[in-house]
Amino acid sequence: MKSWIPPLPLALAMSAFGLSWLLLYRAAATLSSGVSFTALAWVHAVALGWITLVALSVLQHVIPAFLDVEWRSRPIGRGFILVFAFGAAALIAGFVGPSATLLQGGAFVAVLAIVVYALTACEPLGAAMRRGGTGRAVARAFGGTLLFLLLAALLGAIAALGLSGTVPATWLERLPPAHAVLAIGGWLSLLVVGVSARTMGPIAGMRSSRVRVHIGSSTTLLAGILLAGIAAILHLKSAAVVGCVLLLAGIALYAFDLLTVLARATVSHRPPQVLMACAALAAVASAALAIGAATGKPYGAAAVYVALLGWTGNAVLAHLHHIGVRVLLTTVRGEDDETRPQQVLIAPLSWLTVLAYQAAIVLGALAALRGDGALLRIAADAGFIAFLVMLTNVAAAYRNASLHAKTT
């Protein structure tokens, strides 16, 4: 298991998660004056430093496991995850500075790392495509999400060039919305929708049997992402609204299906299930806010906040609390270990993490809608508490797992 999910990028990702709350606290000072460089640093600390770094690390296990194929060039991909982490760190530092040199350099390094990582992934994805069957559809989905990541990174890099006047000013108005749609919708959302279709098995004890609903939600979501992204670049307001409506329809179908599965869950470990339920509800809320933003209402910041922390963030924490702990257990105790996560985690700490994190989401969303910096600072405090409690819980789980390993 150690060779499947590289631990160092995960540790760096959790560091970025903690840093994001400090950046959010700092961004509160300029909330009323619009989007600041500190706010953009926060966005990229969450989207790149935390969630994408976790995703790229976990995909090193997920792609071979889901497709039952070898990924012989995986060590190269693992190395470039660290290169990506370096680029993301430089990018975030460039926003904090602000420094155009760091921004552009970090963006270039991050794009380069994504390109190499995606090229190494072509090997297992191609093998699954050639074999046919359901693996072909799954491989095509993974390839599509990685393509969205690359496109989003390229748009972000072009926007970074605009800080030195290399890109026309009109592009700086159109690229960021398209960048956000492709990154949050195309990369993160489609990845969560696809992966959770499989991981609900261990988390809930069952998976959805509604294949048509899954296909319908994914197809509608994809159509909305493409339309909204193109409309943002071409500055087509009506098309952007239609695209966001399709996004809402697709994510609502997904949420209905997921909540139905969670309502019948047979696994007794409830915190990850509650986190996934919160993720589904936040996904619907963020899509609704995106519609408002597309019609000209000042909902854009709240939509991004809820999409990142509420939708994808809750999903990441859900998987870390269950499957992540299972990875820890098998790493410490061996591949044959069958200990359940709830046996090594401290239940009150799990629930405190859930509650503090949801408070950070709700309070932060309200702060973004109202332009209330004081409320955003409270949200940052709640989020940082959730981060510290979760770290304490993971440390306790590792200690419990290690103690048991020494006595057997």
Give the tens place of pLDDT for each residue, 326-353: 777 777 777 666 778 888 899 999 999 9
Residue 150 has pLDDT above 90, yes or no: yes
Domain assignment present for 119: yes
Domain assignment present for 80: yes
Asked if residue 371 lies in contact with residue 299, where contact means CB atoms within 8 angstroms, the answer is no
Asked if residue 162 lies in contact with residue 173, where contact means CB atoms within 8 angstroms, the answer is no
Domain assignment present for 69: yes
Domain assignment present for 118: yes
Average pLDDT, the chain: 91
- State residue 2's pLDDT score: 42
Domain that holds residue 155: 1-167
Domain assignment present for 24: yes
Domain assignment present for 220: no
Token pair for residue 93? Answer: 């530092």
**Secondary structure of residue 296 in the 3-state scheme:** coil
Domain assignment present for 387: no
User: What is the full DSSP assignment across 252-288?
Assistant: HHHHHHHHHHHHT---S-HHHHHHHHHHHHHHHHHHH
Asked if residue 6 lies in contact with residue 327, where contact means CB atoms within 8 angstroms, the answer is no
Domain assignment present for 254: no
Count of domains in the chain?
A: 1
231-260, pLDDT tens digit by residue? 999 989 999 999 999 999 999 999 999 999
Residue 151 has pLDDT above 70, yes or no: yes
